[in-house]
Amino acid sequence: MAKRLRIALLSDHFGRKFGGAESYGVNLFEILAQRHDVTVISHAFDHDLPVKEILVKSHPIWPSWMRVWFFSMRAKRLTQSGYDIVHSHMSGGAGDVQVIHVTPIRFRRLFGRNMFKRFLAWMQLSNFAYLKLEAASVRTSSSRHVVAVSPWLRDRLFDAYGPQLKLDVIPPGASPVSFDSQLRDRVRADLGWTPTDVGCLLVARNPLRKGFAAVLDAMALLPSTFKLAVVGAEPAVHDYLDTHHPELIDRVSLIEPTSNVSPYYQAADVYVHPTLMDSFGMAPLEAMAHGLPVIVSGPKYCGFGQYVKHLHDAWVLDDPEDSVAIAKGLYELGMSTATREKLLQHSELLVQSLSWRLVAEKYEALYEDCLAHKGQVR
């Protein structure tokens, strides 16, 4: 679209180090901020984009539901005027374009439960707040769009709210990254990896929810030349490693959350992501953009699993808790040149089909539709 818009972006945190949903917003608006005037309203920032910032402060002792509710109310007041489009990644009804990143509360707390358990769920104040905010988020109209980040998540929203729900699906994107041999050698040296080691990588805001335990079990089955780096490791991750696999301490590097994960993708040989539940899973796609073969959970567990086929563009796990299958995948992708090349050939095409520029164009089309129904389009 040719018109330069005034866009308000609502996001709990705005920065790549905060997680996949937050990275989605930063990567998208890295492009949109070049073409529009963007103001980000958030609790925290960690970026270098040319956008205005409005910091919403909340009391540190507030429970999470109260913080989310306050943010929703505050954001709604701040965006009453002065913007053409309100683009929201937060619960609540303030957005003209509302992006849903996680499994709906209504699905997790109410779907498939009997009437008594549903009643008990509604009686919890935190559940009540989250359910009311979520209901406002999925409200659709002719001038409002709700976006799910994967077909998997769309189906969960249909389960929770019914198939009549009007939804768009716009998955995350990726941008191919040029290989840097000097960077690779430097990072591998910092990690203590030798040229003959097979470097395995897991990137997650909470690795314990993304298959860290199963990956450790798999590492224990592999030769000592297989090493693992985990980016996003917080204290609980260190404790789990020390308690359950102390024999692997010398083979596992735990790295705290960082806004620049690219050097670790460059250093690795295989990416592994046996998540038990991911609405999409941006990290495997980012790994592909860095030229890595990927092991990922199938579509039952991971939204990205619906975009790949086993031994075509990824190694797809039927059971993400099957450590033997994970070990087999890591060994095959780490040692077999033929298998690696086959997967990389097709994953490169997948990355091209999911570029961030195409994602940005899809959102601009939604903006134009919203404005058309508001009577504001050029």
* Amino acid letter, 261: V
144 alpha-carbon distance from chain centroid: 23
pLDDT at 366 over 60: yes
The answer to whether residue 284 is domain-embedded is yes
Give yes or no: residues 105 and 187 share one domain: no
- State the DSSP H helix or E strand holding residue 272, giving kind and residue range, or none if neither: strand 270-273
Give yes or no: residues 93 and 41 share one domain: yes
Distance between CA 362 and CA 369 in Å, rounded? 11
Per DSSP, the chain holds a count of helices (H) and strands (E) of: 14, 13
Give the mean model confidence (pLDDT) for residues 199-203. Answer: 97
pTM of the predicted model, to two decimals?
Answer: 0.88
DSSP 3-35: SPPEEEEEEEEEEGGG-HHHHHHHHHHHHHTTT
The answer to whether residue 306 is domain-embedded is yes
The answer to whether residue 154 is domain-embedded is yes
Mean of per-residue pLDDT scores for the chain: 92
Q: Which residues constitute the domain of residue 328?
A: 181-353
Give the mean model confidence (pLDDT) for residues 194-205. Answer: 95
Give yes or no: residues 43 and 165 share one domain: yes
Dmax over CA atoms of the chain, in Å, equals 65
Give the mean model confidence (pLDDT) for residues 177-196. Answer: 96
What ranges make up the beta strands (E) of 149-210?
Answer: 168-169, 198-203
The answer to whether residue 253 is domain-embedded is yes
Question: Over pLDDT 90: what percentage of the chain?
Answer: 76
Give yes or no: residues 105 and 200 share one domain: no
- Which pLDDT score is estimated for 1? 61
Give yes or no: residues 91 and 81 share one domain: yes
pLDDT at 230 over 70: yes
Band (pLDDT 50/70/90 cuts) for residue 378 is: very low
The answer to whether residue 1 is domain-embedded is no
Give yes or no: residues 227 and 138 share one domain: no
Comparing 88-97, 164-173, 255-264, 369-378, the range with the smallest average pLDDT is 369-378
The answer to whether residue 326 is domain-embedded is yes
Here the contacts of 289-293 (C-beta below 8 Å, separation 24 or greater) are: 289/174, 289/175, 289/176, 289/177, 289/351, 290/177, 290/262, 290/265, 290/266, 291/177, 291/179, 291/344, 291/348, 292/201, 292/265, 292/268, 293/333, 293/339, 293/340, 293/343, 293/344, 293/347
196 secondary structure, DSSP code:
T
Tens of pLDDT, residues 55-107: 998 777 888 889 889 999 999 999 999 999 999 999 888 899 999 999 998 88
Give yes or no: residues 198 and 340 share one domain: yes
Give yes or no: residues 245 and 127 share one domain: no
The answer to whether residue 105 is domain-embedded is yes
- Which pLDDT score is estimated for 59? 76
Distance between CA 210 and CA 277 in Å, rounded? 8
- Which pLDDT score is estimated for 207? 92
Tens of pLDDT, residues 283-321: 999 999 999 999 999 999 999 999 999 999 999 999 999
Beta-ladder partners of 169: 148
Based on the structure, what is the number of domains in the chain? 2
Distance between CA 208 and CA 211 in Å, rounded? 6
Give yes or no: residues 166 and 233 share one domain: no
Name the one residue in this structure whose structure tokens are 């095959």.
332
Q: And the tokens for 134?
A: 């979520």
Name the one residue in this structure whose structure tokens are 């769009």.
145
Main-chain dihedrals φ then ψ at residue 369, nearest 5 degrees: -65, -40
CB 221 within 8 A of CB 323: yes
Band (pLDDT 50/70/90 cuts) for residue 2 is: low
Give yes or no: residues 133 and 30 share one domain: yes
Distance between CA 120 and CA 114 in Å, rounded? 10
Q: And the tokens for 259?
A: 């806004």
Give the mean model confidence (pLDDT) for residues 333-341. Answer: 94
Q: Residue 332 is part of a domain; what is its CATH number?
A: 3.40.50.2000
Distance between CA 271 and CA 328 in Å, rounded? 13
Comparing 10-19, 152-161, 329-338, 345-354, the range with the smallest average pLDDT is 10-19
Give yes or no: residues 327 and 359 share one domain: no
- Which pLDDT score is estimated for 55? 93
The answer to whether residue 37 is domain-embedded is yes
Give yes or no: residues 363 and 349 share one domain: no
- Which pLDDT score is estimated for 184? 97
- Which pLDDT score is estimated for 83? 96
Band (pLDDT 50/70/90 cuts) for residue 377 is: very low
Band (pLDDT 50/70/90 cuts) for residue 376 is: low
Cα–Cα distance list, 190 to 187, 290, 361 (Å): 5, 19, 39
